[in-house]
Amino acid sequence: MVIMGIDPGLKATGFGVVQIVPGGRVVPLDAGTIEPKVRDPLEQKLLKIHECLRELIQARRPDVLVLEKLYAHHAHPVTASIMGHARGIICLVCAEEKIPLVEYSVKRVRKAVVGNGNATKEQTRRVVGRILKIDPAGLSLDASDALALALGHASMKRFLT
């Protein structure tokens, strides 16, 4: 089973792809960030996310895409609106490519992967690196969050031993 995790954002959309092999072992396949140009208008940023994500899905052919649920904080209402644009594009690509989509909250994923729903991004990156046997310093926080989404889904669905 191939699982792709996506941590949505307009500045950086993190992605991480893992494969669950027989015996429940997890193998990292890909991770990184899609980073639209800061000065580009909104529509160009969304187009970049769309094109890059579509290429990734076509190359990796995930069985499922795991997306971080939208979190809205009353102190930052505009952030939720902006994040919604990126999430909409991600949902659109899933529909176009006929990839099943599941969503989890950050807290639920961090609880499944780190054991603490309130773990920091840095703690999550360290645990993801340990689980996947890769150097966490080579992962952006967005990419490690995306990998955590994929790992969390695998763990919650009992694909991992």
Q: What is the pLDDT of residues 32-45, one digit of tens each?
A: 999 999 999 999 99
Does residue 125 surpass a pLDDT of 80?
Answer: yes
Contact between 4 and 16 (Cβ < 8 Å):
yes
Measured between alpha carbons, how far is 47 from 91 in angstroms, rounded to an integer?
13
Give the pLDDT score at 103. 95
pLDDT band for position 127 (cuts 50, 70, 90): very high
pLDDT at residue 160 tops 90: no
The pLDDT of residue 93 is: 97
d(CA 133, CA 127): 10
pLDDT at position 99 over 60? yes
pLDDT tens, 63-88? 999 999 877 666 767 777 778 899 99
Query: What CA–CA distance (Å, rounded) separates 44 from 34?
Result: 13
The amino acid occupying position 161 is T
Domain ranges of the chain: 2-156
**Can you name the CATH fold of 2-156?**
Nucleotidyltransferase; domain 5 (3.30.420)
HSE of 35, CA atoms in CB hemisphere, 13 A: 6
- The radius of gyration of the chain from alpha carbons, rounded to an integer in Å, stands at 15
Instruction: Give me 132's structure tokens.
Output: 């996947």
Just list the catalytic residues: 7, 68, 142
**Is residue 147 over pLDDT 60?**
yes
